[in-house]
Structure 1
Amino acid sequence: MTVLPSVAVVILNWNGKAFLERFLPSVCASVYGNLSIYVADNASTDDSLDYVASVFPQVKIIRNATNSGFAGGYNEALRHVEADIFVLLNQDVEVEPNWIAPVIEQMQQDPSIAACQPKMRAYHQRDSFEYAGAAGGWMDILGYTFCRGRILYLTEVDKGQYDNPQDIFWATGAALFIRSRCFFEVGGFDPYFFAHMEEVDLCWRLQRAGYRICYCPGSTVYHVGGGSLPQGNPRKLYLNFRNNLIMLCKNLHFQEQWIILSQRHFLDLLAAFKSLVSGKPKDMLAIFRAYRDYYKWRRHEEKKVRDVFPRKRLYDLQGVFHGIMIWRYYFLHKKTFTELWKPKKK
C-alpha cells in the first residue's frame, strides 16, 4: 500500500479572528488521510488564538514572538513543523473538501516538482480568477509578474481556458504547496522582503536549483485578497517595487542585469510620473522610497545573499514570457493571457 505523504497546512495569522471564523472550518473539513493543520501567529493582539484553541482543539498553534511579516513569519513557524509537504495558506482562503489530493498526486508524479499551486478563484466573484495567483504565475523579460487569468489588475472569468496542468514561473503564496526539504534547501523566504514578491523570489531560486514549479487545475480555492494590504495602498506599492528590484538583483544572470535593470529604472520612473499627473502623489513617493531602500539594500545587504545556485538566463527558465508584458497590454491591447502568449506551433 502506498503511504500518503504527510501534509501540513500552515495558516499565518495576524489579528485575523474574523477570517479564521469564516474560513478555518472549511480547512478543518479537508479530506486527506495524512494531514495536520497549524495556525502560526505573528504576535497578534486580538483574541484569535483563544478562538482557535476553544473551537478547533485539533489545530496546532505556533506562536511567533514578533510580527516579522509573511516571509519572516513563515520562516520561523516552519522550523516547528514536520511534514513532507507544507501548504502555506492565507487566512482569507476558503477551500473545497478535496482540494489537497489532486495537488499531491501531481507532485508525486515527478519528484522534481518542488512547488505547486491550485486554481485561485475570487471569493466574492466565484466564477472569476483571483488576482494573487489565478491559474499560475508568470514573469516577463523585465521582471514584471502576471498570471494566466490575470494581467495587471484585469482578471478573467474562468471558462476552463486554463484547465491544463502547466509549468509556471511562480506559485502563489496564498496557497503554496512546497516540499519541505526543498523549502529549506534554498533557504526559505528572504526575510528582508517582509511581504510581497517573496514567493516569486523563492520559486526563482527553486528553478535555479533545478526544480519545477507547477499549476494544478484539479484543485480550486477561493481567496478574498487584500486582507493585509488592499490594492492601491502606497505601502503595498512600495513593497512590490522594492522587493521586485531586489529579487531581480539577486537572481538575474550577471550578463542580463545591466540591460534589464536599466530598462526597469526608466519604466519605473515613468510609472512614478504617471502617478503624479494622475493625482496620486503618495504612489509616486512610494516608488521613490522603494528605489531609495533598494539602493540601501545594495550597499548593506546584498553581500549577505546566500547565492549558492547557478544563475540561469531568463530564456532558460519556465514560465517566462519572452516579451514586455506592459507594452503588449497598453499599446497592443493584449488584455488576456491567451492573447499575450501564443505558443509556437511544433
Structure 2
Amino acid sequence: MERLDIDGKFLRVGDRRVFLRMVTYGPFPGGWPADFAEDFQRIKAAGFSALRLYEWPDSRLLDAAEAADLQVFAGLKWAYSCDFFRREELPKAEAALTSGLATTGDHPALAGVFVANEVPADLARWMGPAKVRRTLESLIALGKASCPKLIWCYGNYPGTEYLEPGNADLTAMNVYLENEDDFRAYLKRLHHIAGDRPVLISEFGLDSRRNGQEAQAATLSWALRAAMEAGTAGMAIYAWSDRWFNAGSEVLDWDFGLIDRDGRDKAALAAVRDTQAGLEGSETAIPEFSVIICTFNGHDRIRSCLRATLALQGVDFEVVVVDDGSNDGTSELVAREFPEVRLIQIEQSGLSAARNAGAEAASREILAFTDDDCEPDPQWLSEIAKCFTDGWDAAGGPNLPPPPSNGIEAVVAGAPGAASHVMLDDVEAEHVPGCNLVVRRSTYFAIGGFDPAYRTAGDDVDFCWRLRDAGFRIGFSPTAFVWHHRRPTLPGYLRQQRGYGRAEAMLMRKHPQRFSPSGDARWHGTIYTGGPVRALNEAVIYHGPMGMAGYQGVIARVQPLRDLDDRFNTPVSRLVLAGISWLAPRIRAWERIRRFRGPVPPDLPAASPPFLEFALWTGEEREVILRRLLDDGWKIGGATDDWDIEKEGTRVLVATERGEGIEKCTLFRVWGDASKLEVLESAEVLS
C-alpha cells in the first residue's frame, strides 16, 4: 500500500491528492471480532478508504485492512482523561507507544497515529494548557523518531482548541454540529487554527436514537459534502457500528453507527455510500485570470516559478512576466524556455511599478500576483476563484515554506518576520501578502494600483489599506496557497528584515494613523504566521465562565510561529533560531523608528500558588458540584480566569477525572480560606 503524505493543506498518495474517507471502528464489547473480512469488505464497499481506531491494532487487524485496501490510523490508549502528571501516567503512554511501534509500526496498512483523543477541557485547565500541549508534543516526537513516515496527530475538539501540538502533521478535530451552516462556518475557522497544516475532521456523527435514522442519514450526507468543499483533507464518520464500549462498559443509550447492534444496515450507510460515490467539487462559473509575476535578476528562481504556474489546473489563465531591468539573463531564459508566456521588459523601476506594468498589459478579468520565488499550488486559482464567485473584490491565501533541505532553511522558516496574512474574522482579511494577492481588474484600477514609491516591500500593505479604505473587501481562501521560498541564508534573511523595516518607515509617513506612537502597526485583525493556534506559556485563553464554553481558544493578536522541522530540530538549530528571533525584530525596528527594540511582552500578573489542593471520590461530575456551591452563595469567575468560583476572597478551581478503570474523582484547587468548602472534611489532600 502506498503511504499517505502531507502535501501543503492536503493529503497525497503517490502523485494523487486524496480526500481521506474514514470511519471509526470500535472499541466493541467483548473485543475485536473473530474475523474482520466481512466488516472490512462492507466498509470498503461503502466508499471508505481508512479506519480510525481508539486503540493499537494487532497484525491480524492490519493484515485484514491491507487485504481490503484500507488505511488504518491507530489510537494510543492511555489515561489522558485524568491528571496524568499526578498519577504518573506519561511513562506508561510512552511505553505503550514504543511497544506498538516496535510490533506493527512498519506495517504497510498503518498510516498514522492519534497520540490521544480529547483531553477534557477542565483537566487541561487544571494541569496547565501549555504543559498538556508539550506532553502531546513529546509523544509525537517520540513516535516520529521511530516512524517518521506515519501521520502523527492528536484528536482535538472545540473545547480545547488551544491544545494543538506544534509538531503534529495535521490538525485533527472532532466536531459535532447538527446545523449545516454552523458546521461550514466552523470548518473555515479550523483552517486558521491549523495554520499551514491540513485539516482533518476526525469525528463527526449523529445519534439516530434521539434524532431518527433519516435525520442521521441526511446529516452525514451534507457534512461529507461540506468537508470536501471546504478543502479539508478528509473526514471520519463516527461510527461504523452502534456497538460501542467506553470507560469499562458497553454504551447502550447512543446509536451513532452506520449499522445497528445486530449488524443490519441503517439508512445512513446507503446515504454515506451514495454521497461518497458522488463527491465532486461544486460546478460554478470560473473567472479568467491573468497571473502577473515580476522579477529582478531572478534567473535562478523564475524557471521553477513558471513551471509551477503553467501547471495550474481548472482555470483559464494567461501568464505575464515583467522583467524589472534584470542584468543576469532572466529575460533570455523566459523567452527561450517559456514562449507561451507574455514577457514585458522595463527599465528598473521597483516592484510596484513592475506590478502596475503587468496589470496594464493583462487582458483577463482577475489579476493574480505572485513572486518569482514562489511556486503556486496546482489548485491555487481554482480554489481562490470561489472567493470571486462569492462576490469578494480581492482575495488571498497562505504562503507556505517548502520543506527545508537543510538546517538554515528550517531556521528561517521558523523565524519571525515572514509575509503573513491578517484576518478580521474567519473569512475576511485585512491584509494578504503580495506573493498571493488576487484582485478584480476593476477594483485594481479603481484605487490606482500599487504605489510606485514602494520599490521592494510594503507595497502590498499600502495596497490592502487603500483598497479597504475605498470600501472594497478582501476574502480569504485557506486552500489557495503558494509555496514561498524564504531567504536561503541567515545574512539574506536579516537583509530582508532591514528592507521590511525601511518599508514600514515609509508606511508610517503615509499612514500615520495606522501606527502607534512607538511605531507598531495598528492591525484590527489577527496576524497568522503559519503555526497552528496553540497555548504558549503566556497565553490568555477564553475558557468561558467556570470553564464551560463550548469553544475555548487562545486570545491573541499574533499567532504562534511555525515549529522547527523535525528533521533539523537540533540544539544548534534551536540556538540559532533563538538568536535571530531576538535580533531580527530589533534590526527591523531600527530601520523603522531608529530604536533598537524588540516586541514588548504582555504584562501579565504572575500566577499565585494555590493554598491547597485536594481530591474527593464523589462519583459526580464537576458541573453538579459547582451548581451546589453556587446555591451556597459562591460567585462565578470571569471567562479568562484560571479559577471557577469565588466567595469572600477565596477562589476555587474544580476538575473531574474520568476514564476506564478510574472512578470519578473531583479535584479542587483553592486560593484562600479552604474552610469555606464544607466538602473538605472528607477530602484527600494532594501533595
The equivalent of 2:215 in structure 1 is none
1:122 is aligned to 2:401: yes
Query: What does 1:271-282 align with in structure 2 at a 5 Å threshold?
Result: none
Alignment match of 1:137 (pick from 398, 422, 427): 422
Change (3 A) 1:286 1:55: same
- Aligned AA for 1:95? P
Structure 2 equivalent of residue 158 of structure 1: none
1:168, distance to aligned residue in structure 2 (A): 1.4
After superposition, the Cα gap between the structure-2 partners of 1:227 and 1:73, relative to the gap in structure 1 and judged at 3 Å, is farther
Change (3 A) 1:227 1:193: farther
Aligned pairs for 1:136-175 (under 5 A) are 136-137=421-422, 166-175=427-436
Match of 1:36 among 305, 314, 318: 318
Residues 285, 118 of structure 1: alpha-carbon distance in 2 compared, 3 angstrom cutoff: closer
Distance 2:353 2:483 in 1: 25
Structure 1's unaligned 5+ residue stretches are 140-163, 266-276, 291-324, 334-341
Deviates more, 1:229-238 or 1:278-287: 278-287
> Residue by residue, what CA displacement relative to the aligned partner does 1:163-214 show, whole Å, maximum 9, x if unpaired?
x952111111011111111111011111112222211111111111111112
Q: Give the counterpart letter for 2:463 in structure 1.
A: L
Task: Tell me if structure 1 keeps the 8 A contact 2:295–2:372.
Answer: yes
Describe the SS at the equivalent of 1:100: helix
Cα distance, 1:4 vs structure 2: 3.4
SS at match of 2:468: helix
- The match for 1:242 among 505, 509, 518 is 505
- CA distance 1:247–1:105, shift in 2 (3 Å): same
Q: Tell whether the 8 Å contact from 1:6 to 1:35 is kept in structure 2 after alignment.
A: yes
In 2: Cα distance, 1:183 partner to 1:13 partner: 20
Provide the residue aligned with 1:51 in structure 2.
333
8 Å contact from structure 2 (residues 321, 358) kept in 1 = no
**Root mean square deviation of aligned Cα:** 3.8
TM-score, reference length from structure 2: 0.33
CA contact (8 A) 2:287 2:316 kept: yes
Which of structures 1 and 2 has the larger relative contact order (alpha carbons within 8 angstroms, sep 6+)? 1
Say which of 308, 329, 353 aligns to 1:72.
Answer: 353
Match of 1:286 in 2: 591
What letter corresponds to residue 231 of structure 1 in structure 2? Y
- Structure 2 counterpart SS, 1:232: helix
1:189-268 to 2 correspondences below 5 Å: 189-226=450-487, 230-233=492-495, 235-249=498-512, 252=513, 261-264=516-519
The 1:221–1:279 alpha-carbon spacing in structure 2 relative to 1, beyond 3 Å, is closer
The aligned residue for residue 150 of structure 1 is: none
Change (3 A) 1:216 1:284: closer
Corresponding residue number in structure 2 for 1:99: 380
Counterparts of 2:370 and 2:452, CA distance in 1: 18
Deviation at 1:289, TM superposition (A): 7.1
* Distance in 2, Cα, partners of 1:70 & 1:99: 22
**Which residue matches 2:34?**
none
Give the letter aligned to residue 385 of structure 2.
Answer: I
The amino acid across from 1:120 in the alignment is N
Structure number, greater radius of gyration: 2
Provide the residue aligned with 1:20 in structure 2.
302
Q: Secondary structure at the match of 1:18?
A: helix
Matched, 1:186 2:447: yes
Q: TM-score, normalised by structure 1?
A: 0.63
Distance 1:230 1:52 in 2: 25
Secondary structure of 2:450's aligned partner = coil
Q: What is the alpha-carbon distance in structure 2 between the residues aligned to residue 188 and residue 286 of structure 1?
A: 26
Q: Which amino acid aligns with 1:22?
A: S
Secondary structure of 2:493's aligned partner: coil
The alpha-carbon distance between structure 1 residues 192 and 280, as it changes in their structure 2 partners (threshold 3 A), is closer
**8 A contact 1:15–1:45 mirrored in 2:** yes
Cα distance in 1 between the residues matched to 2:291 and 2:584: 43
- 1:120–1:73 CA distance, 2 compared to 1 (3 A): same
**Residues 281 and 326 of structure 1, relative CA distance in 2, 3 Å threshold:** closer
Q: Which runs of 5+ in 2 are unaligned?
A: 1-282, 521-581, 606-639, 641-687
1:191 is paired with a residue whose SS is coil
The answer to whether the Cα contact below 8 Å between 2:585 and 2:599 also exists between their aligned partners in 1 is no
Equivalent residue letter for 1:245: M
Name the CA shift for 1:212/1:29 in 2 (closer, same or farther; >3 Å): same
Letter aligned with residue 115 of structure 1 = A
Q: CA deviation at 1:24?
A: 1.5
Deviation string 1:88-140 (CA, Å, 9 cap, x unpaired) is 11001112212111101122111xx2221122211244997896444x2259x
The verdict on how the C-alpha distance between 1:332 and 1:179 changes in structure 2, with shifts beyond 3 A counting, is: farther
Partner Cα distance (1:32, 1:89) in 2: 18
